[in-house]
Structure 1
Amino acid sequence: MTSTGERIRPPVAAHGPAAVDRVVARMRGIGAALPARDGVAVFNRVYLEVTEELGRRLDGGYFRDPAAAGELAERFATRYLDALDAVAAGRSAPACWRPLFELRRHPSVRPLQFALAGVNAHIGHDLALALVDTCRARDAEPAALEADFDRVGELLAGMEERIREELMPGPDLLDVADPLTHVVGTWSLERAREAAWAAFRTLWGLRGLPELAAEFTERIDAGVGMVGRLLLTPLR
């Protein structure tokens, strides 16, 4: 256990529905260890809810290929958990996650901002890489994952709705002069998902050119991190 409450554990070795269950258990532990107002705890709560729902649907005929969808979900979540472990161990997290970890206790950043910054980092950077990893591991082409990628997108859209319903501060947000109104309006889950799929297709096309792929990934990481820092602009 570290001073911040996160427990460092080795990455999940196996993939699929059972691994998703272990990811859910890990996120529940993280949520129990952190103060509710901690920015990471805010993101972790909404991500846990959607991951639990995804786990339930893996056995319910929702996905065309449940094994592939489960592997993608686990690889996706593990990138967030790896970033959390890196910070807990005193190492540097990817640039996309740094704003959330650095500002997680800032008193002038609102819970809605923390949640959106976490989703931005995870969708904008981690999703494309998890898709590449899943295709490589399963020796599959992107088209094999596209239908279930869209189904995961429906769950993520539900997560965005839940974030806004649960974390909106109230009717005062309707005031166009409220800075939070401006911050929230600058980011779109749908656009982030579209960008993630495009980045995945580009990285897949560059898989035979590792230096270019690494440079492209680094640029994505930096750009997503910049957006995250803007989302976390402290507001009075």
Structure 2
Amino acid sequence: MTAKTINEVIENLEQIIQQSIKEESTLGYFAALYQNVTINIKEKIGTNYFDDDKRMEQLDVIFANRYLAAYSKYKEEKEVTKSWAIAFKSSTNSMLIVLQHLLLGMNAHINLDLGIAASEVTDAKTIKLLESDFNKINELLATLVGEVQKDLAEIWPTLLKILKFTKKVDDFLINFSMKLARDKAWEFANQLVKGDGEQKEKLIELKDLEVSKLSEKIINPGILVKLLFIIIRIGERGKPSDKTKKLEKLIENKLNNH
């Protein structure tokens, strides 16, 4: 599963969504989020939103192909990065809430893949020219991430009730902030463009280990938050296919309002 254009990225993501719905897999949650972000990026191209449309599409495709390749390898039972291995393996964990599944995918893709993709469309001399568009692609991601907690609460009221009585879940989300993820990814990209082949491989290996540790914290956020998540999970009624469809609609409406 690979893409050469942004349209092919959207098509491949749709295949993953439909396959996940058919298989009753939670992997459809992240794919639904990612597809709608990609559609939003596509719609921005040609509107003078980005500094360099051609480079942005190239970045988007390289970025997406890391996820598409990881997904394909996982389905074929081949080795993937530690970050993606945890995210994919966790898809069978019935105790995780929708938000945790989304954050696991975003953690692997933004904190690891985005920096790698950015380093592949530029070099040490030109990377500064990419910074503005790099920030803009993150802004588009943040439009969804910043409000996803509130929107999920509208679908599953148990989440909303808990959020009214505790700040613990808010603290958990602050620990996975888009600004921090963006800054870390940009720092990582700058490190990669300065290294040679062997140095890059070592940097990626170390970053993957760092990101995988954050994945473990998303799965095991501490006793109190975990107990709260169990209560939220009980309130998230419906099969994974139902939740994927609801999430698709929710994200689509959110993007249409921006």
Tell me what 1:28 maps to. Answer: 14
Q: 2:244: which partner in 1?
A: none
Q: Deviations over 1:177-197 (max 9, x none)?
A: 76x445333211110110000
Alignment pair present for 1:199 and 2:188 = yes
RMSD of the TM alignment (CA)? 2.0
Secondary structure, aligned partner of 2:94: coil
Aligned pair 1:157/2:154, yes or no?
no
Structure 2: where are the runs of 5+ without partners?
A: 154-158, 221-225, 231-258
Unmatched 5+ stretches in structure 1: 1-8
2:201 is matched with which residue? Answer: 214
Deviations 1:81-125 (A, max 9, x none): 110001011101111111111111212100001111111111100
CA contact 1:135–1:142 (8 Å) conserved in 2: yes
1:81 to 37, 53, 68: 68
The 5-angstrom pairing of residues 70-149 of structure 1 reads 70-135=57-122, 141-149=126-134
Distance in structure 2 (CA, Å) of the matches to 1:185 and 1:64: 30
Instruction: Output the amino acid matched with 2:150.
Output: E
TM-score (norm 2): 0.78
Q: Which residue of 2 aligns with 1:166?
A: 151
Query: Among residues 144, 162, 166, which one is paired with 1:176 in the alignment?
Result: 166
Which fold has the larger relative contact order, with Cα–Cα distance below 8 Å and residues 6 or more apart in sequence?
A: 2
CA shift, 1:140, in A, is 6.6
Q: 1:162 to 1:27 in 2, by over 3 A?
A: farther
Could you say which residue in structure 2 is the equivalent of 1:188? 177
The answer to whether the Cα contact below 8 Å between 2:20 and 2:26 also exists between their aligned partners in 1 is: no
TM-score w.r.t. structure 1 length? 0.85
Please tell me whether the aligned partners of residues 30 and 41 of structure 1 are also in contact (alpha carbons under 8 angstroms).
yes
Between the aligned partners of 1:35 and 1:103, the Cα distance in structure 2 is: 17
Aligned amino acid, residue 193 of structure 2? W
Does the 8 Å CA contact 2:150/2:160 hold for their aligned counterparts?
no
Identity of aligned residues (%): 23
Counterpart amino acid of 2:116? L
Q: When the two structures are aligned, how many residues end up with a matched partner?
A: 217
Q: Distance in 2 between matches of 1:166 and 1:94?
A: 30
Cα separation, 2, equivalents of 1:165 and 1:20: 29
Q: Distance in 2 between matches of 1:150 and 1:33?
A: 32
* Structure 1 runs (4+) greater than 4 angstroms displaced: none
Give SS of 1:34's match: helix
Could you tell me how far apart the structure 1 residues matched to 2:206 and 2:71 are?
Answer: 21
AA in 2 matched with 1:163:
V
Q: SS at 2:109's partner residue?
A: helix
| Residue of structure 2 equivalent to 1:5 | none
Supply the distance in 1 between the matched residues of 2:41 and 2:127 (Cα, whole angstroms). Answer: 21
- How far apart, in 1, do the equivalents of 2:191 and 2:55 lie? 20
Shift of 1:35: 3.1
Which secondary structure state, in structure 2, belongs to the residue aligned with residue 135 of structure 1?
coil
Counterpart of 1:41 (choices 28, 42, 58) is 28
Distance 2:51 2:167 in 1: 45
**What's the secondary structure of 2:186's corresponding residue?**
helix
